Amino acid sequence: MKIIAIANQKGGTGKSTSTAALGQLLSALGSRVLLLDLDPQGSLTQVLGVSPQAATIAEVLGGAVPGKVRLLEILVSVSELLTLAPSDIALANTELGLIQRIAKETVLKRALEPVSGLFDVCLIDCAPSLSTLTINALTAAHGVIIPVLPSALDLRGMTLFLDTIAQVREATNPGLETIGILLTQYASNTNAHTQALASITAGGWKVLGVIPRTVRAQESAALSRSLPDYDPTGKATLAYTQTAQEVITWLELER
């Protein structure tokens, strides 16, 4: 199982929407996909219409002491090849407790090991912060996708996050690869957006996909439906489909 963190310390960049969309599209293309919600807000869990009734990833990771629930016990089937490890607000307490743990950066990596033979790829929806949870995701991951809004402020935040990835490589995960930048809510008729895309390209960063701005994305989230399910032929879904193909290419190179 290859693990991909979808991460950015800034909120509102489309991490949960992107994770849900890519997960559904990759599963439709035949991959066994595990989606892991690592955000205490539980946005990915909500987008997929799942209401946790029992244990979530919080009980798996534990806090100041190890969790007593196995990851396999909390998994929820979303579709035939798509499975979710849900989250809820209890994960906020987990995050506080993890600070006290020995080898706290590797807790998630160790929790994922028992299910590695059941899935082809795991997509981790990270919280919008540089928290212990996000560092756990980056430590466990083989690669990272960075959703970014097309603005000067967001590009500056992206470079700071790339610095964080470099630090994780040095400290806990030397094999971590930056798969690419996912530009979201893009409007091609806006000068600032076209300049942002040009700046990313000029900087030598790989653009994994450009997702156009669409009200359908907001509507789908409000209705707890993934974008490909809500708007299967829309421009944003088609852009995510192209991005999913890029991810498959990366996965094949990693085998």
pLDDT at 216: 86
pTM of the entire predicted model:
0.96
Q: What is the CATH number of the domain that holds 56?
A: 3.40.50.300
Report residue 72: phi and psi, to 5°. Answer: -60, -30
CA gap 141, 138 in Å, rounded: 5
Could you tell me which of 250, 17, 247 has the C-alpha nearest to residue 128?
17
Tell me how far apart the alpha carbons of residues 71 and 55 are, in angstroms, rounded to a whole number: 10
Query: Rounded CA gap, 34 and 29, in Å?
Result: 14
Q: Show the domain range for 158.
A: 2-254
The count of domains in the chain is 1
Strand order, beta sheet including 177-186: 76-79, 82-85, 33-38, 121-126, 2-6, 143-148, 177-186, 207-212
The pLDDT profile of the chain, 255 residues, written as one tens digit per residue, is 999 999 999 888 999 999 999 999 999 999 999 999 999 999 999 999 898 778 999 999 999 999 999 999 999 999 999 999 999 999 999 989 999 999 999 999 999 999 999 999 999 999 998 899 999 999 999 999 999 999 888 999 999 999 999 999 999 999 999 999 999 999 988 898 999 999 999 888 999 999 999 888 878 877 878 899 889 999 999 999 999 999 999 999 887
Tell me the C-alpha distance between 168 and 175, whole Å: 10
Strands 82-85 and 76-79: antiparallel
- Please give the Cα distance from 166 to 176 (Å, whole number): 9
